[in-house]
Structure 1
Amino acid sequence: MESFKTVMQLGVKHQTALGYGALSLLAAGGEQLFSMVVFRCPCNAWSASYSLVFLLVPALVLLLLGFLLSTRTWRMLTGCCAPAPGVRKRRCRFRLIGLLAASACVAPLTWISVALLHASYYECLATGEQPLAPAWLRERLCQGREATCLQELHLMPCLRNAAAEEVLRYLRAESQVMGWILIATVMSLALICMCITRCRSPVSFLQLKFWKIYLDKEKQMFEIKAKEHAAKLAERNVQSFFESTRPDPFHTPSIREWQQISSVYAFNANGQHYSMIHKYVEAANRHSSIKSAEGDGFPPVLMFVDGDEIGDAAI
């Protein structure tokens, strides 16, 4: 339990600096640890199910963890069940969910790729029993071998004879080829998507660098001012309580104002705003909604505005 808490704290601490790259490293290291220390093929009717669980369930956990550690997830979900969200707002949310899902898939795909390269799970899965282990694969492995091969196939990961080693070598090579194909495919798609998002970027390369510097400074200033404001409000309330006096007037942002600056950032070419706070303070009418306007969009290249640092290594 302590180890799990340490990993969670590490993931949260380095989310902004490393993004989902930290989860990818966690997935690669975790797979090596699991395959060497935890995973032991049972070599019986449970072989296929057991290996499939080790291959897919950690990938699912990493996918959910990717959503969990995303600031944009909580910006989007907080208050999303408020009355009358509107058709356009729902459509925007679906697009954002797609972007989040694509980003969160990095760590699960890393786990599956490393697992295929290590080949332990695939060896156990392919030699298991039907229906999880395909009949055509089992027949191919036993082609040209003894008649008892199909009955003894599930025992091969636990055997150390020459016949078993030959089958396992074949499965190991097949698994590693699939692993490299998956890695090459994912990297190619990532490169294509990054090129497309950069080509469709509404702002230039240097403005993106300035934008990230501004957001970093704004976050620092917000935390400083929020602590000062909270300290003054707490001091006023505690002093009023102990002295039994009416508190002095003290302005603090309203619920509506907090909702305005906490919503998901949408880019609009008609206004050069670098964050929701920037958009709010420059609004002509602060009593009107700044959450959505005609011409708003969600360029993937600007996902970092809400705290998700996906694909920022190129900046």
Structure 2
Amino acid sequence: MDKFRMIFQFLQSNQESFMNGICGIMALASAQMYSAFDFNCPCLPRYNQAYGLGILLVPPFILFLLGFVLNNNISMLAEEWRRPQGQRGKDQAVLRYMFCSMAQRAMIAPAVWVSVTLLDGKCITCAFCTSVPVETLGNASHPSLSQGDMKRVLARIPCKEIYDGQELIANEVAIRYLRCISQALGWCFVLLMTTLAFLVRSLRPCFTQAAFLKSRYWSHYIDIERKLFDETCAEHARSFAKVCIQQFFEGMSTDLAAARCH
């Protein structure tokens, strides 16, 4: 237990390392959650797209908000933004830099979720199975099929056990086609995120370092302030507990002396 307490105190004393660790854990957790998620496409024309795109976009939004919630600097940023102007002016550049820094860390887990989801291909297959080009990949001249019936048949592509349109288009052909598009989008997304991260890291020295240095200063200041506050609280609690214990034993001695007299 003492080892865990020491590790936690070390992470608290180094805010940047703590947040980097939290971001890494959230990224691994997002990938693990997707692998453990039981994906069940409804295979209905009006629900497939909502379900597939919902799984693709809603969890990343939740993870993005969770990244802000777990960041200890968000409260300080809100307090600094809402405080009265007073004699100390607000440096908008520092506030923007801190917000962008928190947003970059919060986007790691959502980016991992979107990347894993696109590379897996199930969401895109479910969402856009009714948009498969039957004219190119299948038999568009299949008799006795209206447009509505064709949509109903194509909506069952993700569900092999109930798919009944092999004469229209082979199930494996449609799934391979959609998964190929999904994986291409996934690798493009990974390339885009990697390029953006490279540009942010490489172009930062080209701009002024004042906001960056001020942000680092306030980050170190907050870490030291919290550490000193915890130490002062512990010392004050120890001294106050000592006074209370002394009063307790003094009162006990008085009661014992009174009992002996009787």
- TM category (shorter chain) comes to 0.5 to 0.7
Match of 1:63 in 2: 64
- Report which stretch shifted further, 176-185 or 61-70: 61-70
Alpha-carbon offset, residue 87 of structure 1:
7.9
Q: Distance in 1 between matches of 2:225 and 2:89?
A: 35
Alignment-derived partner of residue 23 in structure 2:
20
After superposition, where does 1:183-202 map in structure 2 within 5 Å? 183-200=190-207, 202=209
In structure 2, list runs of 5 or more residues that go unmatched: 1-7, 248-262
Q: CA deviation digits over 1:256-285, x for unaligned, max 9?
A: xxxxxxxxxxxxxxxxxxxxxxxxxxxxxx
CA spacing shift, 1:24–1:169, aligned 2, 3 Å: same
Match of 1:43? 43
| Matched position secondary structure for 1:159 | coil
Closer, same or farther: CA 199–164 of 1 in aligned 2, 3 Å? same
Please name the residue that 2:53 is paired with. 52
Distance change in 2, residues 1:97/1:227 (3 Å): closer
Among 121, 126, 129, which residue is 1:119 paired with? 121
Q: Which aligned pairs between 1:1-315 and structure 2 lie closer than 5 A?
A: 15-16=18-19, 18-34=21-37, 38-44=38-44, 45-78=46-79, 80-84=81-85, 88-89=90-91, 92-127=94-129, 138=131, 140-141=133-134, 143=136, 145-146=139-140, 147=142, 148=145, 149-159=150-160, 161=166, 163-200=170-207, 202=209, 223=227, 226-238=229-241
Structure with bigger helix share is: 2
Distance 1:234 1:243 in 2: 14
Q: Which residue number in structure 2 is paired with residue 297 of structure 1?
A: none
Q: Cα offset for 1:92?
A: 4.5
- The structure-2 alpha-carbon separation of the partners of 1:117 and 1:186, relative to structure 1 and needing over 3 Å to count, comes to same
Residue aligning to 2:256: none
SS in 2 for 1:155: coil
The structure having more radius of gyration, on CA atoms, is 2
Secondary structure of residue in 1 paired with 2:156 = helix
Moved more, 184-193 or 230-239: 230-239
Answer yes or no: is the 8 Å Cα contact 2:125–2:158 preserved in 1: yes
Amino acid at match of 1:20: C
- Residue 34 of structure 2 aligns with an amino acid whose one-letter code is E
Q: Could you tell me the TM-score, scaled by structure 1's length?
A: 0.56
- The letter of the residue matching 1:111 is W
Separation in 2 of the partners of 1:30 and 1:113?
A: 13
The answer (yes or no) to whether the contact 2:41–2:158 under 8 Å persists in 1 is yes
Cα displacement (A) at 1:178:
0.5
Structure 1 unaligned segments of length 5 or more: list them.
1-8, 129-137, 245-315
CA contact (8 A) 1:139 1:150 kept: no
Matched AA of 2:152: Q
Give the Cα separation in 1 of the matches to 2:234 and 2:132. Answer: 72
1: CA distance, partners of 2:48 / 2:89: 48
Identify which range, 151-160 or 76-85, moves more after superposition: 76-85
Identity %: 25
Instruction: List per-residue Cα deviations over 1:168-226 (Å, max 9, x = no partner).
Output: 110000000110011011101111111112454749xxxx9xx99xx6xx958963x54
Q: How many residue pairs align between the two structures?
A: 213
Residue 241 of structure 1: how far off its partner (Å) = 5.7
Contact persistence 1:48–1:126 (CA under 8 A): yes
Verify the 8 A CA contact 1:63 1:107 in the aligned structure 2.
yes
TM-score, structure 2 as length reference:
0.66
The Cα of 1:95 is off from its aligned counterpart by: 4.6
Q: Which residue pairs with 2:251 in the alignment? A: none
